Amino acid sequence: MKNTKKEYSNGEITVVYQTDLCIHSEVCSKGLASVFQPGTQPWIKINAASNDEIMKQVQKCPTRALSFYVNMPEEEDREVPIAIESGLKVKVLTKGPLMVEGSITLVNTNGQREIKSGETYFCRCGTSKNKPFCDGSHNVIDFED
């Protein structure tokens, strides 16, 4: 199959569709039918829902055939940074580890991939005997931020 990449923009966000990655699971159309309408032209109705709704649905694509980016404002409007809600949360715990909430792929130093979901705690103090994960050693050494 020929790799075709199509972009659909409303000026604020752009949804990118890569045909060679799509397995037609229908996660997009079942989750947000007003926007994702296979069999119609264009099949992505970018103005049929809010940017937030579209971004959240795109993130559910199991193959990443759908992705998005936030369009950068004109030069005069770039004073305010743009944050993209990825569905992941990283929290720095006081005197403790980094807590990552959500599903992630951890690539070990040997290249092995491991899926983590829920909450994963990563060592910040450097004394964990289970790196990169926290084992509570920060309490023993009275770790300060």
The model's pLDDT over 18-30, given as tens digits with 9 standing for 90+, comes to: 999 899 999 999 9
Specify the pTM.
Answer: 0.54
Write down the residue that tokens 């020929």 correspond to. Answer: 2
Residue that wins the pLDDT comparison between 85 and 42 = 42
**Beta-ladder partners of 18:** 5
Q: Are strands 119-122 and 98-101 parallel, antiparallel or unpaired?
A: antiparallel
Residue that wins the pLDDT comparison between 128 and 107 = 128
Which is nearest to 131 in space by CA: 112, 109, 114, 101?
109
Distance (Å) of CA 68 to CA 36, 41, 116, 142: 14, 19, 23, 43
By CB neighbour count within 10 A (0-12 exposed, 13-18 middle, 19+ buried), where does 105 fall? exposed
Over the stretch 46-67, which tens digit does the pLDDT of each residue have?
999 999 999 999 989 988 899 8
DSSP string, 25-48: --HHHHH-TTTB-TTSSSSB-TTS
What pLDDT, on a 0 to 100 scale, did the predictor assign at position 26? 94
What pLDDT, on a 0 to 100 scale, did the predictor assign at position 94? 94
